[in-house]
């Protein structure tokens, strides 16, 4: 596996134990700029634990994390955010009754004026929100539109656009397509493609092989807290990925198809 | 590495033919205050038909605005707290408790008025913070925690007054307060000079001796209007306001993006307690007494006004101006009924009915606003 560009984020032999339960037993992946790294696995495979380790929610029991080649340890999700790792969770962190602009800037509101009369800079906030959303291919009716009036796919896009605008280098998407219809799914996949092309490393968690193959550059399958290595696009077929997720039929067989990276 | 087979991206043209212009009607319906404004119009029409014409004279206006203002100060604070996702049922008891926290130092300990007022605010800030702290630390609904304080504060007021005076009332406030300039700020009328001038010009009604029938604007109305405008600005135009909406809308989501939810909520609890103290100071100076039964049921009246004003009981949605209008509706119905032939006992029936209609209307309006496209 050789790439000219170095990895932005490397997870090396990550182990995570919860008491006697070994949730992760040595998982390694590398995320490269401008690539979409798909993390596949069935329920309980350890996907959630793994991304929570990446985003600073859990501290790994063993193993190390490297960002642009330098080892880091995160004490909190805030540390990870500051290091450029943004996570869009399934439950989205969007507030339906608030406007798109208010959601987009939540926690990082731009302000103008002099204390004690500092107010929100709505002109800037609205303008940036509209531009960032149209970059993602969504034309908002108006920035004051409540997020609750958007479709599920559009909400995902707001969350993604927000992460990108605030300087994410690695964008982790936790099953962004699992609750969406066909049309909305393809919109989200198109958004992932746009984000990747802007040079951000995307980690796309899914258990849908077709969605993964549509946008993925690399594929890592998690199974019972272990990984069977990473395959590049074109090296692996849909049915092989499916088998790996289901538990693996014959390891020897699969080892060959993965290009001996186990 | 080949290009991925992603679906073609949707065209990102500047205008999108699929997006229809939002109708003026719908954009109006999206405002939380819409129900309250409709209610206000209905109430004004009702009293215009059934009440004596003097209700809408200047004197009549001040008559219903005075109780509306006292309630409104509470309602505006309660509205912010409700948008922030919490209730405070202890504000009515806090009015009585802050009243004695002002009266006892002033009358019995001989403190100056200014220091006594600061003491009353300090006590209420402490209890507001305790309310907030218990709610956030325990994760219990604020409804229950503040319900406990409704009884605790009312009981403490009674116990302290009985210990200090042997009765349930503390007299002698005006004598102790003297003629401090603070008395002017918290009681009596404002703009008396202006009203005297208007009377001399024959622009407003006067008594036979030439004195104006309305001597000025009762100060609580000024406090009420300033507070409502400030709260509305805070809620809609500032970062803190965005945090209030976020904390009430989805505290977990807000915390994930770095909003200090606990700090926001504790500050809102302190703010409601301070609003109750402001009402306490105004009423203590107005009546010249601190009374253990002051502020009874005011917590519910404030919540009613906030709900009529468009606040959602579940938090994350509402308006300070709406709560202001809600309080005016409350005052108009309460006082306006005395200008009609209707028996005053019907007041509570009216208020209950208005509350019910307001909640149903707001519920419907919100569904309309949330219906996409």
Give tens-digit pLDDT for A172-213: 998 888 878 888 888 889 989 999 999 999 999 988 888 999
A130 has a pLDDT exceeding 80:
yes
Q: Is B330 within a domain?
A: yes
Out of A137, A141, A215, the one facing B4 most closely (by C-beta) is A215
In a domain, B6, yes or no: no
Cβ of B242 within 8 Å of Cβ of A96? The answer is no
Three-state DSSP class for residue B361: helix
User: Is residue B19 domain-resident?
Assistant: no
For B349-365, how does the pLDDT look when each residue is reduced to its tens digit (9 = 90+)? 988 998 998 888 888 87
Q: For residue A112, what are the β-bridge partners? A: A119
The residue among B236, B261, B250, B305 whose CA lies nearest residue B43 is B305
Q: Does domain A9-94+154-257 have CATH number 2.40.30.10?
A: no
Q: Do B14 and A233 touch (CB under 8 A)?
A: no
Predicted pLDDT at B8: 40
pLDDT the model gives residue A167: 86
Instruction: Please state the domain extents for chain A.
Output: 9-94+154-257
- Assigned domain for B369 exists: no
Partner-chain contact B369 A146, CB within 8 Å? yes
Residue at B32 is within a domain:
no
The set of residues, in sequence order, having a beta carbon less than 8 Å from that of B364 and lying 6+ positions away, is none
Which residues of A are less than 8 Å from B19 in CB distance? Answer: 139, 141
Comparing CA positions, the residue from B327, B132, B130, B131 lying closest to residue B227 is B327
pLDDT at A241: 81
Q: pLDDT digits over A70-90, tens only?
A: 999 988 877 888 889 988 887
Q: Do B245 and A97 touch (CB under 8 A)?
A: yes
- Cβ-count burial of A147 within 10 angstroms (0-12 exposed, 13-18 middle, 19+ buried)? buried
Best residue of A106, A165, A232 to probe chain B, by most B CBs closer than 10 Å: A106
Token readout for B199 is 């009377």
pLDDT above 80 (res A93): no
pLDDT of A145 > 60? The answer is: yes
Rounded CA separation B293/B301 (Å): 15
In a domain, B106, yes or no: yes
Q: Is B27 within the bounds of a domain?
A: no
| CATH code, domain with B85 | 1.10.3470
DSSP B233-274: HHHHHSHHHHHHHHHHH-HHHHHHTT--HHHHHHHHHHHHHH
Specify whether the CB–CB gap between B332 and B339 falls below 8 A.
no
The distance between the two most distant Cα atoms of chain B, rounded to a whole number of Å, is: 97
Q: Is this complex scored with an ipTM above 0.85? A: no
Tell me what pLDDT residue B5 has.
41
* B62-108 residue pLDDT tens: 999 999 999 999 999 999 999 999 999 999 999 999 999 999 999 99
Confidence of residue B23 (pLDDT cuts 50, 70, 90): low
Counted domains in chain B:
1
> How many CB contacts within 8 angstroms connect chain A with chain B?
129
**Is B29's pLDDT higher than 90?**
no
Q: Are the C-beta atoms of residues A145 and A98 closer than 8 Å to each other? A: no
Look at residues A153, A138, A137, A152 and name the one whose alpha carbon lies nearest to residue A186.
A153
Q: Select the residue of B6, B16, B256 nearest A139 (Cβ to Cβ).
A: B16
Is B367 inside any structural domain? Answer: no
């Amino acid at each position: 596996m050789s790439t000219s560009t170095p990895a932005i984020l490397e997870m090396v032999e990550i182990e995570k134990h919860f008491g006697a339960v070994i949730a992760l037993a040595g998982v390694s992946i590398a995320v490269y700029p401008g690539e979409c790294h798909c993390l596949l696995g069935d329920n309980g495979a350890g996907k959630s634990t793994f991304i929570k380790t990446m985003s600073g929610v859990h501290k790994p029991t063993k193993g190390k994390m490297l960002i642009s080649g330098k080892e880091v340890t995160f004490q909190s999700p805030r540390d990870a955010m500051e290091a450029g790792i943004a996570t869009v969770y399934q439950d989205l962190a969007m507030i339906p009754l608030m406007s798109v602009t208010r959601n987009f800037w939540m926690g990082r509101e731009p302000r103008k004026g002099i204390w004690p009369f500092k107010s929100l800079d709505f002109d800037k906030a609205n303008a940036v929100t509209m531009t960032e959303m149209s970059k993602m291919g969504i034309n908002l009716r108006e920035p004051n539109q409540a997020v609750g009036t958007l479709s599920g796919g559009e909400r995902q896009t707001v969350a993604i656009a927000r992460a990108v605008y605030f300087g994410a280098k690695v964008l982790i998407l936790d099953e962004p397509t699992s609750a969406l219809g066909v049309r909305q799914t393809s919109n989200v996949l198109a958004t992932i493609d746009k984000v990747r092309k802007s040079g951000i490393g995307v980690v796309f968690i899914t258990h849908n092989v077709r969605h993964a193959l549509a946008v993925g550059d690399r594929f890592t399958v998690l199974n019972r807290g272990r990984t069977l290595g990473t395959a590049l696009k074109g090296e692996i077929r849909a049915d092989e990925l499916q088998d790996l997720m289901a538990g693996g039929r014959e390891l020897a067989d699969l080892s060959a198809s993965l290009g001996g990276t186990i | 590495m080949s290009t991925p087979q992603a679906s073609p991206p949707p065209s990102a043209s500047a205008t999108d033919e699929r997006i229809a212009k939002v109708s003026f009607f719908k954009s109006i319906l999206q405002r939380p205050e819409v129900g309250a404004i409709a209610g206000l119009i209905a109430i004004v029409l009702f009293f215009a038909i059934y009440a004596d014409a003097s209700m809408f004279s200047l004197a009549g206006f001040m008559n219903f605005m005075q109780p509306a203002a006292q309630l409104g100060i509470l309602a505006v604070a309660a509205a912010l707290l409700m948008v922030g996702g919490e209730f405070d049922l202890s504000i009515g008891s806090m009015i009585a408790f802050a009243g004695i926290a002002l009266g006892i130092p002033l009358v019995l300990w001989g403190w100056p008025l200014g220091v006594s007022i600061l003491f009353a605010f300090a006590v209420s800030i402490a209890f507001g913070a305790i309310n907030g702290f218990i709610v956030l630390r325990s994760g219990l609904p604020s409804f229950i925690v503040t319900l406990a304080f409704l009884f605790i504060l009312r009981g403490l007021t009674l116990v302290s007054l009985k210990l200090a005076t042997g009765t349930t009332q503390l007299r002698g406030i005006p004598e102790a307060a003297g003629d401090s300039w603070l008395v002017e700020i918290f009681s009596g009328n404002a703009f008396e000079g202006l009203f005297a001038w208007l009377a001399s010009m024959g622009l407003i009604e006067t008594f036979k001796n030439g004195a104006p029938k309305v001597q000025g604007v009762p100060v609580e109305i000024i406090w009420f209007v300033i507070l409502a405008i400030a709260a509305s600005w805070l809620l809609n135009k500032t970062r803190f306001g965005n945090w209030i909406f976020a904390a009430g809308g989805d505290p977990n989501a807000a915390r994930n993006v770095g909003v200090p939810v606990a700090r926001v909520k504790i500050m809102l609890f302190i703010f409601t307690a301070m609003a109750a103290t402001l009402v306490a100071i105004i009423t203590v100076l107005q009546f010249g007494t601190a009374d253990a039964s002051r502020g009874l049921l005011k917590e519910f009246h404030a919540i009613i006004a906030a709900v009529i004003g468009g606040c959602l009981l579940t938090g994350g949605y509402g308006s300070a101006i709406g709560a202001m209008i809600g309080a005016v509706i409350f005052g108009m119905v309460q006082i306006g009924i005395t200008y009609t032939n209707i028996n005053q006992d019907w007041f509570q029936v009216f208020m209950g009915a208005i509350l019910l209609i307001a909640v149903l209307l707001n519920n419907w309006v919100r569904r309309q606003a949330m219906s996409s496209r």
